[in-house]
């Protein structure tokens, strides 16, 4: 009977990306077959709901195909596994709650204020799960994505929610940069013991923002490694954000990288048009400023890179409107945002794309512009051409010119090739996404 499940898994492995497979399917455990139902178990109710909502069809399809008859999925939450609880003599409730709030939280960064779309659905759901059941869902939760996409917002929302449910919980929100500064200060002042108490013993939830900046900071990484172990071992929740996946962070100790992979890794992508519209509407409502649909759509179409820019544009518009006492018409919006437009047109150019692609693949810009036919060069070159087409207003001939005077047909076929491969090449997608994340930073 288990063979049925193993075979079904093999089919699914061929259908979904490797990342999805290891995140959603590997944790499922076969329990038994009960008539037409295949019963599986999983440790976490959040996980169960997520899998049922998103992968029921995939699972039932694969199981039915293997069994040769219609099978249905029954997914249960396993009895709480008796995880070894490390009893630490921690003064929880009696702890002085009067410690000054060293890391003030933004009062607007709440779950209620966070607009959920396909781009951030998983990160949002996982953050909520962690906030509702700290250290009982995923530990650590690792959220990555480009700048201005809501990572810090989610971290603060988790903090607000946990505090609201239990004010005695000691939550430490800190950026990796600030953590680094504190390590340095503590070494200089020889107050490392205080530092350790603060982050290891007097902390119930650690929310660390932008861990990618730990790259190359060996002493801080070591300190963080021990902090991580102490907290994780004592079943304290850890949530991390980063602009890269753990694999992509360079100069990171292997033991930290592997710990980042222990829990759930989830990404936030740039929002699609509909989500951007919803964000503008939500924000305009909060500020009590009526915006016509026309202007809302205009904004959402104009600014697509990230939410911070979108909010920036909106704020700008509001400031102009109140200053000039003019109603916000579409023409007014175009005038008010003109220099944002100009500025943006300048920011992403053929040159800057070539530089970023060259950096990413560790090749020379001159090679991208040249004619060498080595695959290690033609591959980045095609990607660079594709990105120029996607992110600048340049025509095929002028892109060709920017690449050392190549014919427009060369550019067209490079773009086509990349587009076609994108459909089923997950590695290529990841590569391109990671280069695009550089644009907005
Ligand atoms: P990051 O930490 O990923 O760079 P932030 O969390 O600072 O991004 O978000 C930038 C701004 O965009 C913040 O003002 C945040 O409130 C807002 N924002 C981002 N995503 C959303 C969203 N899905 N819904 C509402 N506001 C959002
Ligand atoms: Mg941030």
- How many angstroms is it from 293 CA to the middle of ligand 1? 22
Ligand 1: which atom is nearest the Cα of residue 307? 12
pLDDT at 295 over 70: yes
Ligand 1: which atom is nearest the Cα of residue 147? 4
Which bound ligand lies closest to the C-alpha atom of 151? 1
Q: Which of 174, 130, 154 is nearest to 264 (CA)?
A: 130
What pLDDT score does 177 carry? 94
- How many angstroms is it from 151 CA to the middle of ligand 2? 5
Ligand 1: which atom is nearest the Cα of residue 209? 2
- How many angstroms is it from 108 CA to the middle of ligand 1? 10
Pocket test for ligand 1, best of 307, 310, 311, 437 (most atoms within 8 A of CB): 307
In the chain the first and final C-alpha atoms are separated, in Å, by 51
| pLDDT tens-digit map of 300-327 | 988 887 899 899 899 889 888 888 888 8
- How many angstroms is it from 307 CA to the middle of ligand 1? 6
| pLDDT tens-digit map of 237-254 | 999 999 999 999 999 999
Residues with CB under 6 A from ligand 1: 109, 113-115, 120, 147-153, 279, 307-308, 311
What pLDDT score does 86 carry? 40
Tell me what percent of the residues of the chain surpass a pLDDT of 90: 62
Mean pLDDT of 206-217: 97
The angle formed by the CA atoms of residues 430, 435 and 438, to the nearest 5 degrees, is: 130
Which bound ligand lies closest to the C-alpha atom of 285? 1
- How many angstroms is it from 283 CA to the middle of ligand 1? 11
pLDDT at 100 over 70: no
Question: What single DSSP character describes residue 195?
Answer: H
What pLDDT score does 342 carry? 72
Mean pLDDT of 21-36: 85
Ligand 1: which atom is nearest the Cα of residue 210? 2
CB 414 within 8 A of CB 379: no
CATH topology classification for 273-346: Helicase, Ruva Protein; domain 3 (1.10.8)
Using DSSP's 3-state secondary structure scheme, residue 370 falls into: coil
What pLDDT score does 46 carry? 72
The CATH classification of domain 100-268, taken from the options 3.40.50.300, 3.20.20.140, 1.20.810.10, 1.10.3080.10: 3.40.50.300
Residues across the chain:
441
How many Cβ atoms from other residues are within 10 Å of residue 70's Cβ? Answer: 10
CB 268 within 8 A of CB 283: no
CATH topology classification for 348-440: Chromosomal Replication Initiator Protein Dnaa; Chain: A; (1.10.1750)
pLDDT at 294 over 90: yes
What pLDDT score does 325 carry? 82
| pLDDT tens-digit map of 162-210 | 999 999 999 999 999 999 999 999 999 999 999 999 999 999 999 999 9
What pLDDT score does 345 carry? 61
- How many angstroms is it from 103 CA to the middle of ligand 2? 14
Tell me what percent of the residues of the chain surpass a pLDDT of 70: 93
- How many angstroms is it from 78 CA to the middle of ligand 1? 35
| pLDDT tens-digit map of 365-396 | 999 999 999 999 999 999 999 999 998 889 99
How many Cβ atoms from other residues are within 10 Å of residue 22's Cβ? Answer: 14
CB 180 within 8 A of CB 218: no
The CATH classification of domain 2-77, taken from the options 3.30.300.180, 3.30.499.10, 3.20.20.100, 3.40.50.720: 3.30.300.180
Q: Looking at 33-37, 89-93, 136-140, 271-275, which range is the least confident one?
A: 89-93
Domain edges within the chain: 2-77, 100-268, 273-346, 348-440
pLDDT at 95 over 50: no
Residue nearest to atom 20 of ligand 1 (CA): 150
Which bound ligand lies closest to the C-alpha atom of 278? 1
The angle formed by the CA atoms of residues 423, 243 and 213, to the nearest 5 degrees, is: 150
pLDDT band at 51 (very low <50, low <70, confident <90, very high): confident
Q: Which of 335, 339, 337, 351 is nearest to 394 (CA)?
A: 351
| pLDDT tens-digit map of 72-94 | 999 988 875 444 344 333 333 33
Mean pLDDT of 93-103: 41
- How many angstroms is it from 174 CA to the middle of ligand 1? 17
Q: Taking all residues of the chain, what is their mean pLDDT, rounded to a whole number? A: 88
Mean pLDDT of 217-231: 96
Mean pLDDT of 150-172: 96
Ligand 1: which atom is nearest the Cα of residue 156? 6
What pLDDT score does 99 carry? 43
Which bound ligand lies closest to the C-alpha atom of 312? 1
Ligand 1: which atom is nearest the Cα of residue 154? 6
What pLDDT score does 229 carry? 97
What pLDDT score does 7 carry? 86
């Amino acid at each position: 009977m288990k063979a049925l499940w193993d075979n079904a898994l093999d089919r699914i492995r061929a259908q979904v990306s490797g990342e999805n497979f290891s995140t959603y399917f590997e944790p499922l455990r076969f329990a038994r077959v009960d008539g037409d139902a295949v019963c599986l178990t999983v440790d976490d109710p959040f996980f169960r709901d997520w899998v049922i909502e998103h992968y029921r069809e995939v699972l039932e399809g694969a199981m039915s195909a293997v069994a040769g008859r219609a099978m249905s999925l029954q997914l249960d939450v396993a009895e709480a596994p008796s995880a070894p609880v490390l009893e630490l003599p921690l003064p929880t409730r009696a702890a002085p709650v009067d410690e000054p709030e060293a890391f003030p939280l933004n009062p607007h960064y709440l779950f209620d204020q966070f607009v959920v779309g396909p781009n951030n659905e998983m990160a949002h759901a996982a953050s909520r799960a962690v906030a509702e059941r700290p250290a009982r869902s995923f530990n650590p939760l690792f959220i990555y994505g480009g700048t201005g996409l809501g990572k810090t917002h989610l971290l603060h929302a988790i903090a607000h929610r946990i505090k609201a449910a239990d004010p005695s919980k000691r939550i430490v929100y800190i950026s990796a940069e600030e953590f680094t500064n504190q390590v340095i200060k503590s070494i200089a002042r020889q107050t490392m013991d205080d530092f350790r108490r603060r982050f290891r013993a007097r902390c119930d939830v650690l929310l660390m923002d932008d861990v990618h900046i730990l790259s190359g900071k060996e002493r801080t990484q070591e300190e963080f490694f021990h902090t991580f172990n102490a907290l994780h071992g004592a079943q304290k929740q850890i949530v991390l954000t980063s602009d890269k996946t753990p694999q992509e962070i360079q100069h990171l100790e292997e033991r930290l990288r592997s710990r980042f992979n222990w829990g759930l890794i989830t990404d936030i992508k740039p929002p699609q048009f509909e989500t951007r519209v919803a964000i503008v509407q939500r924000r305009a409502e909060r500020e009590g400023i009526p915006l016509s649909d026309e202007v809302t759509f205009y904004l959402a179409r104009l600014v697509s890179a990230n939410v911070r820019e979108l909010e920036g544009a909106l704020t700008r518009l509001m400031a102009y409107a109140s200053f000039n006492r003019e109603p916000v018409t579409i023409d007014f919006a175009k005038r008010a945002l003109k220099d944002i437009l100009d500025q943006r047109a300048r920011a992403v150019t053929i040159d800057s794309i070539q530089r970023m692609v060259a950096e990413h693949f560790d090749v020379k810009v001159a090679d991208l512009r040249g004619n060498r036919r080595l695959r290690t060069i033609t591959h980045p070159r095609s990607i660079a051409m594709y990105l120029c087409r996607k992110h600048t207003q340049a025509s095929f001939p002028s892109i060709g010119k920017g690449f050392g005077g190549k014919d427009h047909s060369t550019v067209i076929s490079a773009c086509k090739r990349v587009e076609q491969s994108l459909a089923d090449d997950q590695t290529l997608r990841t590569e391109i996404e990671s280069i695009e994340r550089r644009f907005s930073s």
